[in-house]
Amino acid sequence: MTSTQKRLEYRMMFKQNVEKRLLVDKIVRIIVFSCVIIAIIPLGSILAEIFKNGTAAISYEFLTATPGAIGTGEGGIGPAIQGTLIIIGMSSLIGIPIGVLSGVFLSEFGENRLAQIVRFFNDVFMEFPSIVLGIFAFLIIVLVLGHFSIWAGAFALSLIMFPIIARTTEESLKMVPMTYREAGLSLGLRRWVITMRIVLASAKSGLITGILLSVARIGGETAPLIMTILGSSQFFHSFDAPMDALPLRIWRLSLLPYDSAQLQGWGSAMVLIIIILAINIGVRYFFLRKRGSGMFSRLIRQKILGGKR
Amino acid sequence: MTALSIRPQEVEANRDSVFKPEVIDEKYKMIAENVTVTYGGIPAIKNVSMKFKERTVTALIGPSGCGKTTFLRCLNRMHDMIKSAKVVGKVTIDGIDLYSKDIDPIYHRRKVGMVFQKPNPFPTMSIYDNVTAGLRLNGVRDRKILDEIVEDSLKMAYLWDEVKNDLKKPALELSGGQQQRVCIARALAIQPEVLLMDEPASALDPIATQKIEETITELKKEFTIIIVTHNMQQAVRVSDYTGFMYLGDLIEFRETKKLFTDPKNELTAKYVQGQFG
């Protein structure tokens, strides 16, 4: 035991340098705030620039029409919007189930050699340059079928998607305390029932964050799309044909030396950002509202329904 | 066949066809023989043998880290999930060896309910869904049966009066003591024959503790209960038999009254008198 004398000395010691500690606290706080601001400035200025330049391009025709003749400033990006939505949807249909299930495998049954290998390749995959995945899809689908197609694009983008989802799923499932699984076991439930009905449900918010991250990522991918869906100026007519997408359209428009094309490019970028934002907010609201943690659901509970569910 | 499509009756039928009961000792519900558990080669409990009579409460006491919980988890094959844990020995329930190779532990776990040290209601489910989880996720769909079992289980857990009007409320919005009673109700809802309780009152205030002890005394009429506790008074209050464990060994196992008033072993005597622990 520490003697009373010693204890008094220690107490004095802790009291001595209060001012110095407060100063350190202040400095750290300033550094943290400056870092946040430094991080926000580029992000904010990009958004501001896009909205400043893009708003002028927006019109009903711009959002719905097919592209007009080059340099005239006529026509719109209708097919590109449609193509982006289709390609995000299709890639999600392929990428989400594969990603989530691999994540489940890695987290719930992942203590063996096979899982270690899968985890390693998953991580490598996540770091792959997207153009390589585009070339891969080009080689095994476009060359085999003999033409560019939505299938190939969705395949390439789902390859980008599923390692991200697998990793985030694994991480968020690992956050679910063991004790819930044990409670499930003690009720005589099978492992897969526990995993699907209890563990996945508990990790829902992490899962959705991972999925949305990957959607945002593929929403802006350009390189793999050049190799797979090529681009087009017509509305959708077949999964087996080339299609346009917003990143492709932005890329093409920004290469053109006309002011009108540049304007349309800014407009397309703005539309893409709004689409990604809308998907994010929409999905979060739809899937997470029941937990009552979201802003909207709290408002609904408190104001509109008067505290009742 | 998937787990979801199995009905309780089928489970019952299945059990008879798959498992060949050995000689059933009518008096004892569960028997543990020479159970040793090692975690990564280091023994946590050594050669523990205990017999649990039907419709009695057995308490396991002992200082922290003596292996009470480890032993309790053996009775339910809870160590299956932990890779480093290895269980040697024999645990029988109604004469059937729980650790025999050709046995699916799932059928046994449906016979044995478990309440954990910390309340662990499923976080995404309501009170109603928590209590019925074991049934619903095993394929019981009949709303009438579920409603009846929810009321019955919650009454047994002394929680019904407090929650009967908002069964749809998320279980996590309840207080700690209420959550623990939800977990007890959840364990009772699968209609177990044995109830394992791992310090069910350790996180509770005196009033909730008292309620849970009342529950245990009430449940004794129908279930065989094995309870781990740090609280010796609690062991005296609720149990018929008490086992004292120390450093992984079962030191003494007798009727509660005798163990506390006339301990045979010196260690037991010291422990129950509060000289160490």
ipTM computed for the complex: 0.83
Is residue A40 situated within a structural domain? Answer: no
What pLDDT shows up at residue B81?
A: 82
Coil, strand or helix: which one is B222?
Answer: coil
Is residue A171 situated within a structural domain? Answer: yes
A97 vs B264: CA distance, rounded Å: 62
Q: Please give, rounded to a whole number of angstroms, the shortest distance from the CA of B263 to a CA of chain A.
A: 34
What pLDDT shows up at residue A242?
A: 92
B113 vs B191: CA distance, rounded Å: 8
Is residue A289 situated within a structural domain? Answer: yes
Is residue A202 situated within a structural domain? Answer: yes
B184 vs B175: CA distance, rounded Å: 14
The tokens for B269 are: 């005597």
Is residue A74 situated within a structural domain? Answer: no
Residue A44 and residue A234 in contact, taking contact as beta carbons nearer than 8 Å: no
What pLDDT shows up at residue A29?
A: 96
- Helix axis angle, B127-136 to B176-189, nearest 10°: 20
Instruction: With beta carbons under 8 A apart, name residues in chain B contacting A204.
Output: 124
List the one residue out of B241, B180, B188, B176 whose CA is nearest residue B218. B188
Q: Which residues contact B173 (CB under 8 A, 6 or more apart)?
A: none
| B 97-116: CB under 8 A from A | 106-110, 112-114, 116
| A 95-114: CB under 8 A from B | 111
Instruction: With beta carbons under 8 A apart, name residues in chain A contacting B4.
Output: 193
Residue B91 contacts A where some CB pair is shorter than 8 Å: no
Instruction: With beta carbons under 8 A apart, name residues in chain B contacting A202.
Output: 122-124
Identify the closest residue of chain B to A200 by CA–CA distance.
B124
| B 159-198: CB under 8 A from A | 168, 170, 183, 186-187, 190, 196
How many distinct structural domains can be found in chain A?
1
Is residue A212 situated within a structural domain? Answer: yes
Test A182 with B138 for CB contact under 8 angstroms. Answer: no
Coil, strand or helix: which one is A265?
Answer: helix
How many contacts does A have with B, using Cβ atoms within 8 A? 84
What residue numbers bound the domain in which A116 lies?
79-242+255-304
| A 203-242: CB under 8 A from B | 204
Test A183 with B81 for CB contact under 8 angstroms. Answer: no
Mutate which: A182, A186, A288, vs B, most B CBs within 10 A: A186
Test B106 with A188 for CB contact under 8 angstroms. Answer: yes
Buried b (16+ CB within 10 A) or exposed e, B142-165: eeeebeebbebbbbbbbbbeebee
Test B78 with A182 for CB contact under 8 angstroms. Answer: yes
> Which of A182, A204, A292 is facing B81, going by the closest CB pair?
A182
Q: How many CA atoms lie within 13 A of A253 on its CB side?
A: 32
What pLDDT shows up at residue A290?
A: 56
What pLDDT shows up at residue B177?
A: 84
B204 vs B47: CA distance, rounded Å: 33
Test B83 with A181 for CB contact under 8 angstroms. Answer: no
A36 vs A185: CA distance, rounded Å: 45
Q: What are phi and psi of B253, to 5 degrees?
A: -145, 105
Per-block average pLDDT, block size 10, for chain A (309 residues)? 82 82 94 96 94 93 90 88 95 96 91 90 90 94 93 94 94 92 92 92 90 93 93 90 93 91 93 94 80 50 44
Test A185 with B168 for CB contact under 8 angstroms. Answer: no
Per-residue pLDDT of chain B (277 residues; tens, 9 = 90+): 334 444 445 544 544 444 444 444 457 889 999 999 999 889 999 999 999 998 999 999 999 889 999 999 999 898 888 888 999 999 998 888 888 888 888 888 888 999 998 899 999 899 999 999 999 998 888 999 999 999 999 988 888 999 999 999 999 999 888 899 899 999 999 999 999 999 988 877 888 788 888 888 888 888 899 999 988 899 999 999 999 999 999 999 999 999 999 888 888 998 988 887 5
A243 vs A233: CA distance, rounded Å: 8
Sign of CA dihedral A175, A295, A46, A40: negative
Is residue A154 situated within a structural domain? Answer: yes
Token pair 């890639």 in the structure block, residue? A91
List the one residue out of B83, B100, B72 whose CA is nearest residue B38. B83
Identify the closest residue of chain A to B111 by CA–CA distance.
A188
Is residue A113 situated within a structural domain? Answer: yes
Test A180 with B122 for CB contact under 8 angstroms. Answer: yes
Test B124 with A189 for CB contact under 8 angstroms. Answer: no
Token pair 């009108």 in the structure block, residue? A260
> Which of B120, B124, B138 is facing A179, going by the closest CB pair?
B120
Test B83 with A111 for CB contact under 8 angstroms. Answer: yes
Identify the closest residue of chain B to A309 by CA–CA distance.
B169
> Which of B3, B76, B123 is facing A202, going by the closest CB pair?
B123
What pLDDT shows up at residue A144?
A: 93
What pLDDT shows up at residue A304?
A: 46
Q: Please give, rounded to a whole number of angstroms, the shortest distance from the CA of B210 to a CA of chain A.
A: 24
Sign of CA dihedral B249, B253, B258, B262: negative
A25 vs A281: CA distance, rounded Å: 36
Residue B10 contacts A where some CB pair is shorter than 8 Å: no
Coil, strand or helix: which one is A14?
Answer: helix
Residue A186 contacts B where some CB pair is shorter than 8 Å: yes
List the one residue out of A102, A23, A83 whose CA is nearest residue A252. A83
Residue A309 contacts B where some CB pair is shorter than 8 Å: yes
Residue B12 contacts A where some CB pair is shorter than 8 Å: no
Tens of pLDDT, residues A15-44: 878 888 899 999 999 999 999 999 999 999
Q: Which residues contact A156 (CB under 8 A, 6 or more apart)?
A: A130, A133, A134, A136, A137, A224, A225, A227, A228
Query: Which CATH number covers residue A106?
Result: 1.10.3720.10
Q: Please give, rounded to a whole number of angstroms, the shortest distance from the CA of B188 to a CA of chain A.
A: 10
Residue B13 contacts A where some CB pair is shorter than 8 Å: no
